Amino acid sequence: MKQYKFILSGGGTGGHIYPAIAIANELKFRFPDAEFLFVGAKDKMEMQKVPQSGYQIKGLWISGLQRKVSLPNLMFPFKLVDSLWESKKILKRFQPDVVIGTGGFASGPLLKMASMMGIPTVIQEQNSFPGITNKLLSKKADVICVAYENLERFFPEEKMVLTGNPVRQDLIDIESKRTEAIQHFNLDPNKKTLLVLGGSLGARRLNQLIEKELENIVSQNVQIIWQCGKLYFEEYKKYNANNVQVFPFIERMDLVYAASDIVISRAGASSVSELSIVGKPVIFIPSPNVAEDHQTKNAKSIVDKKGGLLLRESELDAEFSLVFEALLKDQGKQNQLSENIKQLAMPEATKTIVDEIVKLIKK
C-alpha cells in the first residue's frame, strides 16, 4: 500500500488550527503509515498548538496586511516572496500527495506554490464570507470544502462541496460527560453554569461586559467559567472566586461544554460549528472587527433558524441583562434553542472532507 504524504496549513487563531488538526487526525486514522507536515506562520499560536497535538510544523515568515499604513505593511512584499521561496523548498523536499489549507496567513503562499508545482490542493473554508486568501486560491484549487450554502459568488461552483466545519471528535457525545465535567471544574450541580468564550486569543469587549455584569449574574444563582483569552488573563484573573473561574485558555473543551447550561460566545466559524454539535443555548456576540463582518453573518445563519440569540456589541449596554435574565428564567426557551441549533450541526464534517481528499489522491 502506498505511503501517503500530507501537508496541512492553517493558523493565526484556533479557528484555523483545530480544523487542520481534526483533518490530520482523521487522515492518520485511515492511513496509519502516512507522513504529515504542518506549515504555519512564525510566532503564531500554531507553532505551539500543532506540536502539542503530535505533529511536526515548519514556520514561514509571513503575516497579514494591516488596515493602516505601517512598517509591517511595507515589509509584506518581502515576507511574501520569502514565504513563496520557502514553501517551494518545503514542497520539493517533502513531496506531498496533497496540500490542505484551512485558512490563515501561511496557507496563502504554500497553496499558491503547490498549485504552481502541479500538486493537488484542497481548501477548507469555514466562514459564510470567505477571506481574501481563499478567494484568490480557489481559482487553482482542486476541491473547496465549505461550511455554508450560497458561496457561488465567491468560488467556482463545480469545485465546491458542502461539508460543514471539522470539529474535535470528543465533542460528539458530551451528555455522558456531565458528571465528570462538574467534578473536573469543581462546580455546584445545583447552580446553572454560564460559559463565556471570547476565542483563543480573547475578546476585549466581551471581557468588559462580563466584568461589568459579574455581580448581577452571580447574584442569580449562576456560576461562571470565563475564558478571557491569553492576552487578557493578567487583567482578569483577579476575579477568580467561589462562583467564578477565569482561564486564559481551556484545553478540555468537551468537559467545559458538558458542564455548561448557557453559553455566551463570539461567532467565529469553528465556535459556531462546535456549539451546533454540543447543542447548548447560546447568545452570540459577534466581533464587528473582522473582514466583511463575517461573524455576524455566521451567527445569523443560526439565529435566523431560531437556534440562538444575537446581540451586537452596540446593543450590549442596553440589552444584555434583559436578554440574559429572560433566557435564564425560561427553561422552555433554553430547550428550544438547544434542539434547533442541534438540527444545524454537521457532525460528519471531518469524515466528509477526508473522503474528498481520498478521492483526489486515488485519482
pLDDT at residue 106 in the model: 81
- Using one digit for the tens of pLDDT, what is the confidence trace for 7-30? 999 877 767 888 999 999 999 999
> Looking at residues 180-205, what average pLDDT do you find?
91
**DSSP summary character for residue 66:** P
Q: Are the CB atoms for 162 and 146 separated by under 8 Å?
A: yes
| Residue 293 pLDDT grade (very low, low, confident, very high; cuts 50, 70, 90) | confident
Kindly report which listed range (203-212, 292-301, 318-327) carries the lowest average pLDDT score: 292-301
pLDDT of 362 > 90? The answer is no
Q: Are the CB atoms for 11 and 44 separated by under 8 Å?
A: yes
pLDDT at residue 71 in the model: 64
pLDDT of 321 > 90? The answer is yes
> Looking at residues 95-104, what average pLDDT do you find?
93
pLDDT of 142 > 90? The answer is yes
Q: Kindly state the cell numbers that stand for 269.
A: 466559524
Name the E strands within 116-191: 121-125, 143-146, 160-162
Alpha-carbon distance of 9 to 255, in angstroms, equals 27
Count each helix (H run) and each strand (E run) in the chain, helices first.
14, 13
pLDDT at residue 46 in the model: 82
pLDDT of 278 > 60? The answer is yes
Find cell 497553496 and name the residue: 111
pLDDT of 111 > 70? The answer is yes
pLDDT at residue 289 in the model: 81
Q: Are the CB atoms for 167 and 271 separated by under 8 Å?
A: no
> Looking at residues 175-203, what average pLDDT do you find?
92
**pTM for this prediction:** 0.84
- Using one digit for the tens of pLDDT, what is the confidence trace for 25-70? 999 999 999 999 999 888 788 888 899 999 999 988 766 655 555 6
Q: Kindly state the cell numbers that stand for 144.
A: 473547496
Alpha-carbon distance of 122 to 19, in angstroms, equals 13
Kindly report which listed range (138-142, 181-185, 201-205) carries the lowest average pLDDT score: 201-205
pLDDT at residue 65 in the model: 54
> Looking at residues 88-115, what average pLDDT do you find?
93
pLDDT at residue 44 in the model: 81
